[in-house]
């Protein structure tokens, strides 16, 4: 599977190279120096892969449809238009048939108070935008802290349906179910602890 999937990735990159270079501001004569897969594998061992180039730039290959990523960036652009002070970071996406290329987001620490305040305002906005879409796992490696603010990079965390659980047996279980279905269930906010 690894050989087949690597050949598939290289063939797709070769076919899409001019479009990818144009979309991500890369030079046509750039060369690959490294390919690094990460995360879970699906569909005969395919995985999200980072392609690192001699120029120092990187792009992300997703071996599945990236229409959700593309549409989510449009949604973020809408919110940026309506609320210009948010200035949410949007990713560049090249959508192909059943796969795509995504902008690599470089993690970067935010240090001063003004940057931190803006970061957490943007994080709150992303939380508010994704909660109605039943977002889950909105934390850890699914969110990158970039220079332009937080970026949700794994959109497979959206549109999750709650599991049907029997009705609560007591007030404590009922409270836990309510909290799980609230914005607290997304994982980005501090979790309340029950005192016994």
Report pLDDT digits (tens) over 70-94: 999 999 999 999 998 899 999 999 9
Q: How far apart are CA 175 and CA 168, in angstroms?
A: 9
Q: Is the pTM of this model over 0.85?
A: no
Measured CA distances, 18 to 24, 26, 81 (Å): 10, 9, 30
36-61 pLDDT tens trace: 887 676 777 788 999 999 999 999 99
């Amino acid at each position: 599977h690894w050989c087949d999937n690597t050949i598939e990735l290289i063939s797709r990159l070769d076919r899409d190279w001019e479009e990818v270079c144009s979309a991500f501001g890369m030079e046509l004569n750039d060369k690959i120096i490294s390919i690094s897969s990460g995360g879970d594998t699906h569909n005969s061992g395919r995985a999200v892969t980072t392609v690192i180039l001699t120029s120092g730039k990187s792009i992300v290959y997703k071996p599945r449809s990236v229409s959700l990523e593309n549409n989510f960036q449009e949604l973020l652009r809408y919110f940026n238009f309506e609320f210009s002070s948010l200035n949410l970071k949007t990713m560049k996406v090249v959508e192909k048939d059943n796969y795509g290329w995504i902008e690599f987001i470089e993690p970067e620490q935010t240090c001063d108070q003004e940057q931190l305040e803006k970061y957490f305002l943007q994080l709150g906005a992303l939380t508010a935008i994704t909660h109605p879409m039943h977002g889950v796992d909105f934390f850890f490696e699914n969110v990158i802290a970039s220079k332009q603010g937080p970026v949700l990079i794994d959109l497979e965390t959206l549109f999750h349906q709650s599991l049907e659980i029997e009705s609560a047996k007591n007030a404590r279980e009922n409270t836990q179910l309510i909290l799980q279905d609230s914005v607290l269930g997304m994982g980005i906010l501090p979790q309340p602890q029950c005192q016994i």
